[in-house]
Amino acid sequence: MGQRRRYFQRIWRLIKLRLLVPLMRSQHPPEYAAWGTAVGLAWAFTPTPGIQMLVVLATWLVGRAFHWHFSLVLAAAWTWVSNIFTGPPVLYLSYATGQVLLGRWDDITGYESFIRLWESAFSTGQPISVQVMTALKMAIRDWGLAIWIGCLPWCALLAVLGYHWSLRFVIAHRHRKVRRLARRLAHRE
């Protein structure tokens, strides 16, 4: 029990360090951090494992050309919510959603067979670059259209939720910071 608790404490510490602390330390307007969170979450739930941070960088570069600014660091960090552990369930959710949206109710592969196919792609003992390319080929060739169609509503929903949550989080954090400073200054007088 103690080992499991330490594991979850380490995970929480990593989440706090990589995702929440950058939100709290940002000196930009709250919208800047909120847009970074939204962009990161939107790309995190696309079937682009391994290249999500590069796509975020491309989005940032294109956005700057159109005077749309967001935190590149936060956007890249929020892509990490989709990782080797959360990737298969996220891809399956996108696949199942896509099959439903395409009207293919009778052609939805079960989660177990989906995971078996996923694991077979990664059990080859190949370098990680080959494994990522295999996963991308599977996402395009085998389930492509369904996954891409199915990820769109989830990307949009999570981007909107992430934007509003992080905006409120940053604003609330800044208000708490101002109140603490005001209390300290009041005690000095």
pLDDT digits (tens, 9 = 90+) for 119-134: 766 666 777 777 777 7
Q: What is the pLDDT of residues 55-95, one digit of tens each?
A: 999 999 999 999 999 988 889 888 988 876 777 888 888 88
Distance in angstroms between the alpha carbons of the first and the last residue of the chain? 50
Tokens standing for residue 135: 């996963």
Q: pTM of the entire structure?
A: 0.73
Domain boundaries, the chain: 31-181
Residue 144 class from Cβ within 10 Å (0-12 exposed, 13-18 middle, 19+ buried)?
A: middle
Which of 39, 47, 81 has its CA nearest to residue 64? 39
118: Cβ contacts below 8 Å, ≥ 6 apart: 88, 91, 135, 138
pLDDT tens by residue, 17-59: 666 666 666 778 889 999 999 999 999 999 887 788 899 999 9
